[in-house]
C-alpha cells in the first residue's frame, strides 16, 4: 500500500520541522510562510533596528534548515514555535553582543503597555490562574519573566535582550516570582 503524502500546508509545524530535517524544501517554505510574520513581530518588539531584525531572521531560518534534526518536539515537552523562538532570541542576543563591541546596543522598540500579539500568544500558551497572574504583572516584570521562563533565556541573555543590567534582571525576576506566588495562593 502506498502512503499518501500530505501537502505541506496541511501539516502542523512540528511535522514540517521533521520534514525540513530530511531536506524537504517545500516544508521549509511552508514553515517560513507560517512563522516568519510572528517571528518578525516579536523581534521588532525587542529591537527597533530593522537591519538587525533582518539579520536575525536570516540567521534563525538558516539555523532551522541546518539543525531541524535536533528538534526534540512534543516528546520532550516542546513545540516547534517555541523551538524557533528560542533560536531567534539567542540569535538576537548574539547580534546585540556583536554590535556592543562596535557601538551602543540598539534601543529596544518602544513597547506599548499592552502588546496585543504577545498578549494573545501568552494567553494561548499560559492559561488559567497562572496566565491571569502573569498578565496582571507590571509590564517590566512580565518582560523579564517571559524572557527567562517562557523563552528560556539566561540572566545574561535577558539582560542583553532587554537592555538592562544583570542585577536589574535578577531583581525584577525575583519580584515577579514573589508577585506570582502571592497571586496563586
Tell the residue number behind the cell numbers 528560556, with chain if given: 152
CB 131 within 8 A of CB 122: yes
pLDDT given at position 108: 52
pLDDT given at position 129: 67
**133-178, pLDDT tens digit by residue?**
777 888 888 888 888 877 777 888 888 777 888 899 999 999 988 8
Tell the residue number behind the cell numbers 516584570, with chain if given: 141
> In this structure, how many other beta carbons lie within 10 angstroms of the beta carbon of residue 168?
15
**How far apart are alpha carbons 13 and 9 in whole angstroms?**
10
In the chain, what is the greatest distance between 2 CA atoms, to the nearest angstrom?
Answer: 62
Residue 107: band (very low, low, confident or very high) from pLDDT cuts 50, 70, 90: low
What's this model's pTM, rounded to 2 decimal places?
Answer: 0.60
Mean pLDDT of the chain: 79
Q: What b/e string do you get for 133-158 counting C-beta neighbours within 10 Å, with b at 16 or more?
A: bbeebeeebbbbbbbbebbebebebb
Amino acid at each position: 500500500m502506498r502512503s499518501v503524502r500530505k501537502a505541506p500546508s496541511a501539516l502542523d509545524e512540528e511535522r514540517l520541522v521533521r520534514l525540513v530535517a530530511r531536506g524537504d524544501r517545500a516544508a521549509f517554505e511552508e514553515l517560513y510562510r507560517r512563522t516568519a510574520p510572528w517571528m518578525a513581530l516579536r523581534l521588532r518588539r525587542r529591537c527597533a533596528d530593522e537591519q538587525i531584525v533582518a539579520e536575525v531572521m536570516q540567521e534563525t531560518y538558516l539555523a532551522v534548515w541546518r539543525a531541524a534534526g535536533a528538534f526534540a518536539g512534543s516528546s520532550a515537552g516542546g513545540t516547534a514555535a517555541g523551538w524557533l523562538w528560542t533560536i531567534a532570541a539567542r540569535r538576537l542576543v548574539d547580534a546585540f553582543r556583536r554590535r556592543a563591541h562596535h557601538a551602543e546596543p540598539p534601543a529596544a522598540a518602544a513597547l506599548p503597555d499592552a502588546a496585543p500579539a504577545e498578549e494573545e500568544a501568552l494567553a494561548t500558551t499560559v492559561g488559567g490562574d497562572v496566565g491571569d497572574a502573569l498578565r496582571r504583572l507590571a509590564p517590566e516584570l512580565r518582560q523579564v519573566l517571559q524572557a527567562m521562563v517562557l523563552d528560556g533565556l539566561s540572566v545574561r541573555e535577558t539582560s542583553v535582550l532587554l537592555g538592562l543590567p544583570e542585577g536589574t534582571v535578577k531583581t525584577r525576576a525575583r519580584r515577579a516570582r514573589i508577585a506570582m506566588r502571592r497571586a496563586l495562593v
